[in-house]
Amino acid sequence: MAFFKKLKDRLFKSSSKIEDGLDAIIEDGGTQDASDPPAEIDPKAEALATTLEGVTASEAQQAVDHLIASGAATEVPADDTAKPEPEEQPTPEPDTVPVPKPATVPEPKPDTVPTPKPATVPAPEPERVPDPKPDTIPVPKPTTPPGPRPAPAPPVEVPEPPQEVPPATPTEAPVPSGDPAPAPTPVEIPLDTLPKAEAPTKTGLLGRLLGRGDGKGVTRRALDDDMLEQLEELLITADMGVDTALRVTANLAEGRMGKRLSTQEIKELLAQEIARIMEPVARPLPLYSKTPQVVLVVGVNGSGKTTTIGKLASQFRAAGKKVVIAAGDTFRAAAVEQLQVWGDRAGVPVLTAPEGSDPASLAFDAMGQAQADGADLLMIDTAGRLQNRADLMEELSKIVRVIRKKDPSAPHNTLLVLDATTGQNALSQVATFQKLADVSGLVMTKLDGTAKGGVLVALADKFGLPIHAIGVGEQIDDLAPFDPEDFAAALTGIER
Protein backbone atom coordinates (compact mmCIF):
# COMPACT_ATOMS: atom_id res chain seq x y z
CA MET A 1 0.00 0.00 0.00
CA ALA A 2 1.48 3.29 -1.11
CA PHE A 3 0.52 5.18 2.00
CA PHE A 4 1.98 2.57 4.30
CA LYS A 5 5.28 2.84 2.47
CA LYS A 6 5.23 6.58 2.91
CA LEU A 7 4.52 6.19 6.62
CA LYS A 8 7.27 3.63 6.96
CA ASP A 9 9.75 5.82 5.13
CA ARG A 10 8.86 8.74 7.35
CA LEU A 11 9.21 6.74 10.53
CA PHE A 12 12.57 5.42 9.50
CA LYS A 13 14.49 6.94 12.40
CA SER A 14 12.41 5.08 14.95
CA SER A 15 12.21 1.89 12.94
CA SER A 16 15.91 1.71 12.16
CA LYS A 17 16.72 2.13 15.81
CA ILE A 18 14.49 -0.82 16.67
CA GLU A 19 15.65 -2.87 13.68
CA ASP A 20 19.32 -2.32 14.40
CA GLY A 21 18.80 -3.08 18.05
CA LEU A 22 16.96 -6.30 17.27
CA ASP A 23 19.65 -7.40 14.84
CA ALA A 24 22.27 -6.86 17.52
CA ILE A 25 20.24 -8.76 20.12
CA ILE A 26 19.73 -11.75 17.84
CA GLU A 27 23.36 -11.75 16.72
CA ASP A 28 24.37 -11.77 20.36
CA GLY A 29 24.12 -15.47 21.07
CA GLY A 30 22.03 -16.41 18.06
CA THR A 31 23.00 -19.13 15.63
CA GLN A 32 22.11 -19.82 12.05
CA ASP A 33 19.47 -22.44 11.51
CA ALA A 34 21.04 -24.00 8.47
CA SER A 35 24.73 -23.40 8.44
CA ASP A 36 26.24 -24.46 5.18
CA PRO A 37 29.79 -25.80 5.30
CA PRO A 38 32.24 -23.20 4.16
CA ALA A 39 32.67 -23.62 0.45
CA GLU A 40 35.98 -23.64 -1.29
CA ILE A 41 36.78 -20.24 -2.62
CA ASP A 42 37.52 -20.04 -6.29
CA PRO A 43 40.14 -17.44 -7.23
CA LYS A 44 37.57 -15.96 -9.60
CA ALA A 45 35.23 -15.36 -6.70
CA GLU A 46 38.06 -13.81 -4.74
CA ALA A 47 38.62 -11.44 -7.61
CA LEU A 48 34.94 -10.63 -7.76
CA ALA A 49 34.96 -9.92 -4.05
CA THR A 50 37.77 -7.44 -4.46
CA THR A 51 35.73 -5.50 -6.98
CA LEU A 52 32.63 -5.30 -4.83
CA GLU A 53 32.84 -3.32 -1.69
CA GLY A 54 31.82 -5.04 1.51
CA VAL A 55 31.66 -8.50 -0.03
CA THR A 56 33.75 -11.34 1.30
CA ALA A 57 35.35 -13.91 -0.95
CA SER A 58 33.13 -16.56 0.55
CA GLU A 59 30.03 -14.56 -0.24
CA ALA A 60 31.25 -13.96 -3.75
CA GLN A 61 31.86 -17.67 -4.13
CA GLN A 62 28.33 -18.46 -3.00
CA ALA A 63 26.95 -15.88 -5.41
CA VAL A 64 28.89 -17.34 -8.26
CA ASP A 65 27.74 -20.84 -7.35
CA HIS A 66 24.21 -19.60 -7.12
CA LEU A 67 24.38 -18.00 -10.54
CA ILE A 68 25.74 -21.13 -12.05
CA ALA A 69 23.25 -23.34 -10.28
CA SER A 70 20.37 -21.16 -11.36
CA GLY A 71 21.47 -21.29 -14.97
CA ALA A 72 21.99 -17.58 -15.10
CA ALA A 73 25.68 -18.13 -15.65
CA THR A 74 27.97 -20.88 -16.88
CA GLU A 75 31.19 -22.22 -15.52
CA VAL A 76 34.26 -21.02 -17.36
CA PRO A 77 37.33 -23.22 -17.39
CA ALA A 78 39.96 -21.88 -15.09
CA ASP A 79 42.54 -21.65 -17.78
CA ASP A 80 40.26 -19.96 -20.23
CA THR A 81 41.37 -16.39 -20.51
CA ALA A 82 38.97 -15.44 -23.23
CA LYS A 83 35.92 -13.40 -22.40
CA PRO A 84 32.67 -15.29 -22.21
CA GLU A 85 30.97 -15.62 -25.54
CA PRO A 86 27.56 -14.08 -25.24
CA GLU A 87 26.03 -16.07 -28.07
CA GLU A 88 26.99 -19.36 -26.49
CA GLN A 89 25.10 -18.71 -23.31
CA PRO A 90 22.18 -21.02 -22.79
CA THR A 91 19.79 -18.54 -21.28
CA PRO A 92 18.11 -15.67 -22.97
CA GLU A 93 18.92 -13.43 -20.06
CA PRO A 94 21.75 -10.96 -20.19
CA ASP A 95 24.74 -13.07 -19.54
CA THR A 96 27.75 -10.95 -19.96
CA VAL A 97 29.37 -11.24 -16.58
CA PRO A 98 28.71 -14.44 -14.85
CA VAL A 99 32.07 -15.75 -13.81
CA PRO A 100 34.56 -13.05 -14.29
CA LYS A 101 38.26 -13.59 -14.59
CA PRO A 102 40.52 -11.67 -12.34
CA ALA A 103 41.90 -9.86 -15.32
CA THR A 104 38.71 -9.18 -17.16
CA VAL A 105 35.99 -9.01 -14.63
CA PRO A 106 36.46 -5.97 -12.60
CA GLU A 107 33.11 -4.74 -13.62
CA PRO A 108 32.30 -3.03 -10.41
CA LYS A 109 28.73 -2.54 -11.45
CA PRO A 110 26.75 -5.19 -9.68
CA ASP A 111 23.72 -4.28 -11.75
CA THR A 112 25.21 -5.90 -14.81
CA VAL A 113 25.29 -9.29 -13.17
CA PRO A 114 22.27 -11.15 -14.39
CA THR A 115 20.02 -11.83 -11.53
CA PRO A 116 17.31 -14.37 -11.39
CA LYS A 117 15.17 -11.96 -9.44
CA PRO A 118 15.19 -8.70 -11.34
CA ALA A 119 11.96 -7.71 -9.64
CA THR A 120 13.70 -7.38 -6.31
CA VAL A 121 15.97 -4.61 -7.47
CA PRO A 122 14.76 -1.55 -5.62
CA ALA A 123 11.93 -0.17 -7.63
CA PRO A 124 11.54 3.51 -8.35
CA GLU A 125 9.57 5.28 -5.68
CA PRO A 126 5.95 5.17 -6.68
CA GLU A 127 5.11 7.97 -4.30
CA ARG A 128 6.78 10.51 -6.48
CA VAL A 129 3.68 10.46 -8.55
CA PRO A 130 1.19 12.67 -6.75
CA ASP A 131 -1.48 10.50 -5.27
CA PRO A 132 -4.78 11.72 -6.57
CA LYS A 133 -6.59 10.46 -3.54
CA PRO A 134 -5.77 12.27 -0.35
CA ASP A 135 -5.50 9.32 1.92
CA THR A 136 -4.14 11.30 4.80
CA ILE A 137 -7.41 12.75 5.92
CA PRO A 138 -7.53 11.84 9.55
CA VAL A 139 -11.09 12.64 10.24
CA PRO A 140 -13.50 12.40 7.40
CA LYS A 141 -14.96 9.03 8.23
CA PRO A 142 -18.31 9.49 9.88
CA THR A 143 -18.11 7.91 13.22
CA THR A 144 -20.53 7.43 15.99
CA PRO A 145 -19.15 9.82 18.51
CA PRO A 146 -18.59 8.72 22.03
CA GLY A 147 -20.93 9.99 24.66
CA PRO A 148 -20.80 13.64 25.54
CA ARG A 149 -17.65 14.55 27.32
CA PRO A 150 -17.85 16.02 30.74
CA ALA A 151 -17.66 19.77 30.54
CA PRO A 152 -14.32 21.30 31.45
CA ALA A 153 -13.90 22.28 35.05
CA PRO A 154 -15.97 25.39 35.55
CA PRO A 155 -14.00 28.55 36.08
CA VAL A 156 -13.90 29.99 39.53
CA GLU A 157 -16.21 32.92 38.99
CA VAL A 158 -18.83 31.37 36.78
CA PRO A 159 -21.07 34.33 36.24
CA GLU A 160 -23.30 32.98 33.54
CA PRO A 161 -26.91 32.41 34.35
CA PRO A 162 -28.10 28.89 33.81
CA GLN A 163 -28.69 28.41 30.15
CA GLU A 164 -30.61 25.91 28.26
CA VAL A 165 -28.19 23.23 27.34
CA PRO A 166 -29.09 21.50 24.14
CA PRO A 167 -29.04 17.79 24.60
CA ALA A 168 -25.51 16.83 23.87
CA THR A 169 -26.50 13.91 21.78
CA PRO A 170 -23.90 13.73 19.16
CA THR A 171 -25.38 12.33 16.05
CA GLU A 172 -23.61 10.75 13.23
CA ALA A 173 -20.91 12.98 11.98
CA PRO A 174 -21.95 14.56 8.72
CA VAL A 175 -18.55 14.46 7.20
CA PRO A 176 -18.62 13.07 3.73
CA SER A 177 -16.35 10.16 3.33
CA GLY A 178 -16.61 10.09 -0.40
CA ASP A 179 -14.32 11.80 -2.82
CA PRO A 180 -13.37 15.08 -1.37
CA ALA A 181 -12.85 18.11 -3.52
CA PRO A 182 -9.28 18.48 -4.65
CA ALA A 183 -7.08 19.69 -1.85
CA PRO A 184 -5.73 23.20 -2.29
CA THR A 185 -2.11 22.54 -3.04
CA PRO A 186 -0.84 19.52 -1.28
CA VAL A 187 2.72 19.47 -2.38
CA GLU A 188 4.02 16.04 -1.75
CA ILE A 189 7.62 15.74 -0.67
CA PRO A 190 9.30 13.61 -3.29
CA LEU A 191 10.23 10.64 -1.26
CA ASP A 192 13.60 10.32 -2.92
CA THR A 193 14.58 13.60 -1.30
CA LEU A 194 14.10 12.12 2.12
CA PRO A 195 16.80 10.22 3.88
CA LYS A 196 16.03 6.57 3.57
CA ALA A 197 16.29 3.72 5.94
CA GLU A 198 19.44 1.79 5.41
CA ALA A 199 17.64 -1.34 4.35
CA PRO A 200 18.59 -1.09 0.68
CA THR A 201 22.27 -0.95 1.50
CA LYS A 202 22.02 -3.85 3.91
CA THR A 203 20.82 -6.24 1.28
CA GLY A 204 22.72 -5.60 -1.86
CA LEU A 205 22.74 -7.67 -5.01
CA LEU A 206 24.92 -10.36 -3.52
CA GLY A 207 22.81 -10.30 -0.40
CA ARG A 208 19.76 -11.03 -2.47
CA LEU A 209 21.52 -13.71 -4.46
CA LEU A 210 22.65 -15.30 -1.26
CA GLY A 211 19.21 -15.11 0.20
CA ARG A 212 20.12 -12.83 3.09
CA GLY A 213 16.92 -11.78 4.76
CA ASP A 214 14.70 -14.12 2.79
CA GLY A 215 14.64 -16.95 5.26
CA LYS A 216 17.77 -18.88 4.25
CA GLY A 217 20.37 -19.34 6.92
CA VAL A 218 18.36 -17.14 9.25
CA THR A 219 19.94 -16.39 12.58
CA ARG A 220 17.75 -17.24 15.53
CA ARG A 221 18.21 -16.92 19.24
CA ALA A 222 16.41 -18.81 21.96
CA LEU A 223 14.26 -16.50 24.04
CA ASP A 224 15.60 -16.36 27.58
CA ASP A 225 15.73 -13.87 30.43
CA ASP A 226 18.85 -12.19 29.07
CA MET A 227 17.29 -11.67 25.71
CA LEU A 228 14.09 -10.35 27.26
CA GLU A 229 16.09 -7.87 29.27
CA GLN A 230 17.86 -6.72 26.12
CA LEU A 231 14.52 -6.33 24.37
CA GLU A 232 13.18 -4.27 27.27
CA GLU A 233 16.21 -2.01 27.12
CA LEU A 234 15.81 -1.58 23.39
CA LEU A 235 12.16 -0.57 23.73
CA ILE A 236 13.05 1.84 26.50
CA THR A 237 15.67 3.49 24.31
CA ALA A 238 12.99 3.85 21.63
CA ASP A 239 11.07 5.87 24.23
CA MET A 240 8.40 3.37 24.99
CA GLY A 241 8.86 3.96 28.69
CA VAL A 242 9.74 1.39 31.33
CA ASP A 243 6.22 0.22 32.19
CA THR A 244 5.12 -0.18 28.60
CA ALA A 245 8.38 -1.85 27.59
CA LEU A 246 7.97 -4.36 30.41
CA ARG A 247 4.38 -5.05 29.47
CA VAL A 248 5.18 -5.51 25.80
CA THR A 249 8.09 -7.87 26.43
CA ALA A 250 6.15 -9.85 29.05
CA ASN A 251 3.32 -10.40 26.57
CA LEU A 252 5.79 -11.28 23.87
CA ALA A 253 7.46 -13.85 26.11
CA GLU A 254 4.26 -15.55 27.17
CA GLY A 255 4.42 -19.15 26.01
CA ARG A 256 7.56 -18.51 23.99
CA MET A 257 10.40 -18.93 26.50
CA GLY A 258 13.07 -21.17 24.98
CA LYS A 259 11.73 -20.75 21.47
CA ARG A 260 14.23 -19.77 18.81
CA LEU A 261 13.25 -16.47 17.22
CA SER A 262 14.63 -14.46 14.32
CA THR A 263 14.71 -10.68 14.05
CA GLN A 264 11.79 -10.78 11.66
CA GLU A 265 9.73 -12.94 13.98
CA ILE A 266 10.39 -10.65 16.92
CA LYS A 267 9.49 -7.64 14.83
CA GLU A 268 6.18 -9.25 13.98
CA LEU A 269 5.46 -10.18 17.58
CA LEU A 270 6.37 -6.68 18.73
CA ALA A 271 4.16 -5.14 16.08
CA GLN A 272 1.25 -7.32 17.24
CA GLU A 273 1.73 -6.24 20.84
CA ILE A 274 2.06 -2.58 19.92
CA ALA A 275 -1.01 -2.68 17.68
CA ARG A 276 -2.95 -4.30 20.51
CA ILE A 277 -2.08 -1.42 22.85
CA MET A 278 -2.81 1.20 20.21
CA GLU A 279 -6.06 -0.24 18.90
CA PRO A 280 -8.36 1.24 21.56
CA VAL A 281 -6.95 4.76 21.17
CA ALA A 282 -7.00 4.95 17.39
CA ARG A 283 -10.07 7.07 16.92
CA PRO A 284 -10.74 9.77 14.38
CA LEU A 285 -11.73 13.20 15.61
CA PRO A 286 -15.39 12.80 16.51
CA LEU A 287 -17.67 15.20 14.74
CA TYR A 288 -21.01 16.09 16.23
CA SER A 289 -23.97 17.40 14.34
CA LYS A 290 -23.91 20.72 16.10
CA THR A 291 -22.26 23.44 14.03
CA PRO A 292 -19.94 25.12 14.23
CA GLN A 293 -17.96 22.33 15.78
CA VAL A 294 -15.41 24.00 17.99
CA VAL A 295 -11.95 22.49 18.23
CA LEU A 296 -9.69 24.09 20.80
CA VAL A 297 -6.06 23.35 20.02
CA VAL A 298 -3.62 23.36 22.93
CA GLY A 299 0.02 22.41 23.40
CA VAL A 300 3.39 23.89 24.29
CA ASN A 301 5.05 26.39 21.98
CA GLY A 302 6.65 24.75 18.99
CA SER A 303 4.79 21.46 19.36
CA GLY A 304 3.21 21.94 15.95
CA LYS A 305 -0.19 23.46 16.79
CA THR A 306 -0.18 25.96 13.93
CA THR A 307 1.00 23.41 11.41
CA THR A 308 -1.55 20.86 12.59
CA ILE A 309 -4.38 23.40 12.42
CA GLY A 310 -3.33 24.23 8.85
CA LYS A 311 -3.19 20.57 7.84
CA LEU A 312 -6.52 19.76 9.48
CA ALA A 313 -8.18 22.82 7.95
CA SER A 314 -6.95 21.79 4.54
CA GLN A 315 -8.23 18.26 4.92
CA PHE A 316 -11.61 19.26 6.34
CA ARG A 317 -12.01 21.75 3.56
CA ALA A 318 -11.11 19.09 1.03
CA ALA A 319 -13.83 16.98 2.63
CA GLY A 320 -16.33 19.74 1.88
CA LYS A 321 -16.40 21.45 5.25
CA LYS A 322 -16.55 25.16 5.80
CA VAL A 323 -13.76 25.97 8.21
CA VAL A 324 -12.81 29.09 10.18
CA ILE A 325 -9.59 29.49 12.16
CA ALA A 326 -9.11 31.81 15.13
CA ALA A 327 -5.52 32.88 15.83
CA GLY A 328 -5.82 32.76 19.59
CA ASP A 329 -2.13 33.07 20.40
CA THR A 330 -2.38 36.84 20.41
CA PHE A 331 0.82 37.21 22.39
CA ARG A 332 3.11 36.51 19.48
CA ALA A 333 2.67 38.38 16.22
CA ALA A 334 4.81 35.78 14.48
CA ALA A 335 2.44 33.01 15.56
CA VAL A 336 -0.51 34.89 14.07
CA GLU A 337 1.36 35.50 10.81
CA GLN A 338 2.30 31.86 10.56
CA LEU A 339 -1.28 30.81 11.05
CA GLN A 340 -2.33 33.21 8.31
CA VAL A 341 0.16 31.58 5.97
CA TRP A 342 -1.35 28.19 6.77
CA GLY A 343 -4.86 29.59 6.36
CA ASP A 344 -3.92 30.83 2.88
CA ARG A 345 -2.46 27.46 1.98
CA ALA A 346 -5.58 25.69 3.17
CA GLY A 347 -7.91 28.28 1.62
CA VAL A 348 -9.52 28.96 4.98
CA PRO A 349 -10.17 32.36 6.65
CA VAL A 350 -8.11 33.18 9.73
CA LEU A 351 -9.56 35.58 12.26
CA THR A 352 -6.96 37.61 14.09
CA ALA A 353 -6.81 40.25 16.79
CA PRO A 354 -4.18 42.88 17.57
CA GLU A 355 -1.09 41.63 19.36
CA GLY A 356 -1.57 41.49 23.09
CA SER A 357 -5.35 41.55 22.97
CA ASP A 358 -7.52 39.15 24.93
CA PRO A 359 -7.61 35.73 23.24
CA ALA A 360 -10.99 35.01 24.83
CA SER A 361 -12.42 38.09 23.19
CA LEU A 362 -11.11 36.90 19.81
CA ALA A 363 -12.56 33.43 20.44
CA PHE A 364 -15.94 34.98 21.24
CA ASP A 365 -15.91 37.06 18.04
CA ALA A 366 -14.74 34.08 16.01
CA MET A 367 -17.56 31.98 17.43
CA GLY A 368 -20.06 34.66 16.40
CA GLN A 369 -18.63 34.88 12.93
CA ALA A 370 -18.47 31.12 12.46
CA GLN A 371 -22.13 30.89 13.48
CA ALA A 372 -23.12 33.76 11.21
CA ASP A 373 -21.21 32.25 8.28
CA GLY A 374 -22.70 28.82 8.83
CA ALA A 375 -19.24 27.34 9.31
CA ASP A 376 -18.99 23.65 10.07
CA LEU A 377 -15.82 23.93 12.05
CA LEU A 378 -14.07 26.56 14.12
CA MET A 379 -10.50 25.79 15.13
CA ILE A 380 -9.07 27.97 17.86
CA ASP A 381 -5.31 28.19 18.26
CA THR A 382 -4.05 28.98 21.75
CA ALA A 383 -0.83 30.10 23.36
CA GLY A 384 1.47 27.45 24.74
CA ARG A 385 3.36 29.21 27.45
CA LEU A 386 3.76 26.62 30.12
CA GLN A 387 6.15 28.87 32.02
CA ASN A 388 3.25 30.45 33.78
CA ARG A 389 0.71 27.72 34.22
CA ALA A 390 -1.69 29.76 36.30
CA ASP A 391 -1.98 32.38 33.54
CA LEU A 392 -2.34 29.76 30.85
CA MET A 393 -4.97 27.91 32.81
CA GLU A 394 -6.92 31.10 33.36
CA GLU A 395 -6.59 31.99 29.69
CA LEU A 396 -7.88 28.61 28.52
CA SER A 397 -10.68 28.66 31.07
CA LYS A 398 -11.75 32.09 29.91
CA ILE A 399 -11.81 31.03 26.27
CA VAL A 400 -14.01 28.07 27.17
CA ARG A 401 -16.25 30.26 29.30
CA VAL A 402 -16.91 32.82 26.62
CA ILE A 403 -17.48 30.41 23.76
CA ARG A 404 -20.01 28.62 25.96
CA LYS A 405 -22.02 31.80 26.01
CA LYS A 406 -22.58 31.11 22.32
CA ASP A 407 -22.77 27.35 22.54
CA PRO A 408 -22.85 25.69 25.95
CA SER A 409 -21.67 22.41 24.48
CA ALA A 410 -18.46 23.95 23.09
CA PRO A 411 -15.62 23.19 22.74
CA HIS A 412 -16.53 19.89 21.22
CA ASN A 413 -12.94 18.75 21.07
CA THR A 414 -9.83 19.91 22.88
CA LEU A 415 -6.86 18.65 20.93
CA LEU A 416 -3.50 18.42 22.58
CA VAL A 417 -0.67 18.64 20.06
CA LEU A 418 2.52 16.87 21.15
CA ASP A 419 5.97 16.88 19.62
CA ALA A 420 7.35 13.33 19.35
CA THR A 421 10.93 14.58 19.46
CA THR A 422 10.43 15.45 23.13
CA GLY A 423 10.21 11.75 23.89
CA GLN A 424 9.19 10.92 27.43
CA ASN A 425 8.55 14.60 28.12
CA ALA A 426 5.35 14.19 26.10
CA LEU A 427 3.96 12.14 28.98
CA SER A 428 4.38 14.95 31.47
CA GLN A 429 2.87 17.39 28.94
CA VAL A 430 -0.25 15.27 28.75
CA ALA A 431 -0.51 15.16 32.53
CA THR A 432 -0.07 18.94 32.74
CA PHE A 433 -2.54 19.81 30.00
CA GLN A 434 -5.11 17.45 31.41
CA LYS A 435 -5.05 19.70 34.46
CA LEU A 436 -5.16 22.90 32.40
CA ALA A 437 -7.84 21.87 29.95
CA ASP A 438 -10.25 19.06 29.32
CA VAL A 439 -8.09 17.31 26.75
CA SER A 440 -10.22 15.07 24.55
CA GLY A 441 -7.64 13.74 22.13
CA LEU A 442 -4.07 13.88 20.88
CA VAL A 443 -2.20 14.64 17.71
CA MET A 444 1.46 13.59 17.72
CA THR A 445 3.68 15.59 15.37
CA LYS A 446 7.23 15.21 14.04
CA LEU A 447 7.25 11.43 14.06
CA ASP A 448 9.23 11.72 10.85
CA GLY A 449 12.16 13.38 12.54
CA THR A 450 12.79 11.30 15.60
CA ALA A 451 13.92 7.93 16.86
CA LYS A 452 11.52 8.36 19.78
CA GLY A 453 8.36 7.18 18.04
CA GLY A 454 7.84 4.62 20.77
CA VAL A 455 6.56 7.39 23.02
CA LEU A 456 3.21 7.15 21.28
CA VAL A 457 2.88 3.59 22.56
CA ALA A 458 3.68 4.76 26.08
CA LEU A 459 1.06 7.52 25.79
CA ALA A 460 -1.59 5.09 24.64
CA ASP A 461 -0.68 2.66 27.38
CA LYS A 462 -0.60 5.23 30.14
CA PHE A 463 -3.40 7.67 29.33
CA GLY A 464 -5.67 5.88 26.90
CA LEU A 465 -6.56 9.21 25.26
CA PRO A 466 -7.73 8.97 21.68
CA ILE A 467 -4.99 9.56 19.12
CA HIS A 468 -6.63 11.25 16.16
CA ALA A 469 -3.74 11.81 13.80
CA ILE A 470 0.03 11.85 13.47
CA GLY A 471 2.23 14.47 11.82
CA VAL A 472 4.84 12.98 9.54
CA GLY A 473 6.26 16.06 7.85
CA GLU A 474 5.97 19.78 7.36
CA GLN A 475 3.83 19.79 4.25
CA ILE A 476 0.10 20.37 4.22
CA ASP A 477 -0.78 16.75 3.52
CA ASP A 478 1.67 15.32 6.03
CA LEU A 479 -0.97 14.55 8.61
CA ALA A 480 -1.88 10.90 8.65
CA PRO A 481 -4.84 9.22 10.22
CA PHE A 482 -3.73 7.10 13.10
CA ASP A 483 -3.91 3.48 12.07
CA PRO A 484 -2.57 1.20 14.83
CA GLU A 485 -1.49 -1.65 12.59
CA ASP A 486 0.22 0.56 10.05
CA PHE A 487 1.89 2.48 12.83
CA ALA A 488 3.07 -0.67 14.63
CA ALA A 489 4.42 -2.13 11.40
CA ALA A 490 6.15 1.11 10.41
CA LEU A 491 7.63 1.54 13.87
CA THR A 492 9.09 -1.95 13.94
CA GLY A 493 10.25 -1.79 10.33
CA ILE A 494 8.03 -4.53 8.96
CA GLU A 495 7.56 -4.64 5.21
CA ARG A 496 4.00 -5.03 4.00
Which x/- pattern over 223-262 shows residues binding ligand GTP (rule: CB under 6 A)? ----------------------------------------
Q: Is 382 within any annotated ligand binding site? A: yes
Q: Is 419 within any annotated ligand binding site? A: no
Residue, CB closest to ligand GTP: 471
Dihedral angle over CA of 426, 434, 295, 176, nearest 10 = 70
Minimum gap (Å) between residue 387 Cβ and ligand GTP: 13
Q: Is 414 within any annotated ligand binding site? A: no
What is the distance, to the nearest Å, from the Cα of residue 329 to the centroid of all Cα atoms in its chain?
28
Binding flag, residue 207, ligand GTP (CB under 6 A): no
Among 115, 264, 314, 338, binds ligand GTP (CB under 6 A): 338
Stretch that binds ligand GTP, among 106-114, 263-271, 454-462, 471-479 (CB under 6 A): 471-479
Q: Is the CB of 39 or the CB of 341 nearer to ligand GTP?
A: 341
Binding flag, residue 429, ligand GTP (CB under 6 A): no
Neighbours of 423 (CB within 10 A): 18
What is the strand order of the sheet 260-262 is part of? 31-32, 219-222, 260-262
Question: Are the beta carbons of 139 and 286 closer than 8 angstroms?
Answer: no
With CA atoms as reference, report the closest residue to 352 among 369, 340, 367. 340
Minimum gap (Å) between residue 445 Cβ and ligand GTP: 4
- Compute CA distances 102 → 57, 67, 121, 284, whole Å: 13, 17, 26, 62
Binding flag, residue 473, ligand GTP (CB under 6 A): yes
* Binding to ligand GTP in span 265-324, by CB under 6 A: 299, 301-307
* CB contact set of 111 (below 8 Å; sequence gap of 6+): 121, 205
Minimum gap (Å) between residue 340 Cβ and ligand GTP: 12
Q: Is 381 within any annotated ligand binding site? A: yes
Binding flag, residue 333, ligand GTP (CB under 6 A): no
* CA separation for the pair 411, 107 (Å, rounded): 67
Partners of 324 in the β-ladder? 378
Which x/- pattern over 351-390 shows residues binding ligand GTP (rule: CB under 6 A)? ---------------------------------x------
Among 449, 462, 463, 465, binds ligand GTP (CB under 6 A): 449
Among 448, 477, 485, 486, binds ligand GTP (CB under 6 A): 448
Q: Is 385 within any annotated ligand binding site? A: yes
Radius of gyration of the chain (CA): 28
Question: Are the beta carbons of 138 and 312 closer than 8 angstroms?
Answer: yes
Q: Is 271 within any annotated ligand binding site? A: no
The 3-state DSSP class for residue 322 equals: coil
Minimum gap (Å) between residue 311 Cβ and ligand GTP: 8
Neighbours of 410 (CB within 10 A): 24
Q: Is 33 within any annotated ligand binding site? A: no
- Compute CA distances 453 → 15, 139, 304, 421, whole Å: 8, 22, 16, 8
Q: Is 343 within any annotated ligand binding site? A: no
Minimum gap (Å) between residue 357 Cβ and ligand GTP: 17
Q: Is 448 within any annotated ligand binding site? A: yes
Question: Are the beta carbons of 415 and 298 closer than 8 angstroms?
Answer: yes
Q: Is 384 within any annotated ligand binding site? A: yes
* CB contact set of 440 (below 8 Å; sequence gap of 6+): 149, 413, 414, 415, 465, 466
| Residue ranges at the known binding site for GTP | 299-306, 381-385, 445-448
Write out the residues near ligand GTP by the rule CB under 6 A: 299, 301-307, 329, 335, 338, 384, 445-446, 448-449, 471-474, 478
| Residue ranges at the known binding site | 299-306, 381-385, 445-448
